[in-house]
Amino acid sequence: MSMPAPLQSRSTTQHQPTQNHLLNALSAEVQQRLFPHLELVEMPLGKVLYESGDVMRYVYFPTNCIVSLLYVMENGSSAEISVVGFDGLIGVSLFMGGESTTSRAIVQSSGFAYRLLGQRMKDEFNRHGELLHLMLRYSQALITQMAQTAVCNRHHSIDQQLCRWLLLSLDRLKDNHLVMTQELIANMLGVRREGVTEAAGRLHKQGVIDYSRGHIVVTNRPKLEQLSCECYDVVKAETDRLLPLCKLAM
């Protein structure tokens, strides 16, 4: 009986660095410098990439997973401040000079990512070339998402927050299917689980989503966008404006 192939060799035909929008946007010259040092890693649901205060050793470029950045309070409660998928990377603080961050990075939808040693990322960043400009634009888009999330959590209903969160997550996946428990969604939004259950129930009754045992399928995206607040449109418009080169042909 033959042994299964290693993860790296089994996945090369299924996963490519260019599935990440930022890596895809780089010129062939920069790709040739970085791609040989990328390591494909599995990102299981719930995996914590780093905790608040950890010194970062790697940056991660998701291809088909979603990672949430959470702020965790002293009493253990948490709230999501941003969501990252194949549109971006995890570890902005590393090349911005901070080396660590006050947030927790946790996988909210399983898949794969490419990781790169932080020093190699900083070396390329410090060339003051295209990677620097791309990362600065991405950082501005990320800051916009964080700011709008704070506004949304303060001023909009749980129903609107859930719609915004679902749309942001869908934009970072290849399909309309999310594997996510209501408890985890509640932790992301910083609200009670009962509130998420009621909001999800209302969306189901309106024919927007199907929900069963942690599986969410969006069946009517136009209606979902209609029910969401303006926060989603603000984040999407700014991301599209700042990162036009990062769009992949779907």
Pairing of the two strands 66-72 and 177-179: unpaired
Asked whether residue 250 carries a pLDDT value surpassing 70, the answer given is no
- 157-228 topology per CATH: Arc Repressor Mutant, subunit A (1.10.10)
**Residue entry with tokens 């299917």:** 177
Residue 13: predicted pLDDT: 54
- 7-153 topology per CATH: Jelly Rolls (2.60.120)
Rounded to two decimals, the pTM is 0.85
pLDDT, tens digit, 9 for 90 and up, residues 51-93: 888 888 999 999 999 999 988 877 877 778 889 999 999 998 8
Q: Per-domain residue ranges for the chain?
A: 7-153, 157-228
pLDDT, tens digit, 9 for 90 and up, residues 179-212: 776 777 776 676 777 877 888 889 889 999 898 7
Residue 38: predicted pLDDT: 97
Angle formed at CA 250 by CA 120 and CA 163, multiple of 5 degrees: 90
Residue 216: predicted pLDDT: 85
What percent of the chain lies above the pLDDT cut of 70?
89
pLDDT, tens digit, 9 for 90 and up, residues 11-49: 445 889 999 999 999 999 999 999 999 999 999 988 999
pLDDT, tens digit, 9 for 90 and up, residues 113-171: 999 999 999 999 999 899 999 999 999 999 999 999 888 888 888 889 889 989 998 89
Q: In what order do the strands lie in the sheet with 209-212?
A: 177-179, 215-218, 209-212
Interatomic CA distance for residues 5 and 12, integer angstroms = 11
Pairing of the two strands 39-43 and 215-218: unpaired
Asked whether residue 4 carries a pLDDT value surpassing 50, the answer given is no
